[in-house]
Structure 1
Amino acid sequence: MVFTWRYEAADGAVITPAGGIEEFSNQGDAESWIGEEWKQLLADGVEKVVLLEDGREIYPMSLRES
């Protein structure tokens, strides 16, 4: 299994980050990584992320604090 994040702009357009797409071997590592990187992603124009497992959507998440 491969876990990745899809990055989306406010209008829903998919954004490909300059550093490429990170791949993770488990969900916990993917979630830890987004916990460390979300502020930079938000600064780069990412508003929402979607966790994917082998391309299948697991869950979406806004990067804006509620």
Structure 2
Amino acid sequence: MVLRPQWEWRLEDGSGRVLGRPVSPVFTTQFDAEQWLGEQWRTLAGQGVQLARLVHEGVQAAPTVPIPGI
């Protein structure tokens, strides 16, 4: 069995509370995860996301990304 790396975004409101919706897909590469955020940030901002944390197999892997309001 081959295990693939898992990258996903923890999407939070302004107080750092993890949001139940929207939910990040799970990615096999950091590049794919970052590309998705770059394409989706406007939609995420419209859904109340203010912070995004990239998590690799449960551990934060990069600095927190602020999502600018629209």
RMSD: 1.4
Matched, 1:9 2:13: yes
TM-score (norm 2): 0.84
Q: Which has the larger radius of gyration?
A: 2
Matched, 1:44 2:38: no
Q: Match of 2:67?
A: 63
SS of match in other structure, 2:26: coil
Structure 2: 5+ residue stretches without partners: none
**Matched residue count:** 64
Structure 1: 5+ residue stretches without partners: none
Greater relative contact order (Cα < 8 A, sep 6+):
1
% identical equivalent positions: 30
TM-score (norm 1): 0.89
Greater strand share, 1 or 2?
Answer: 1
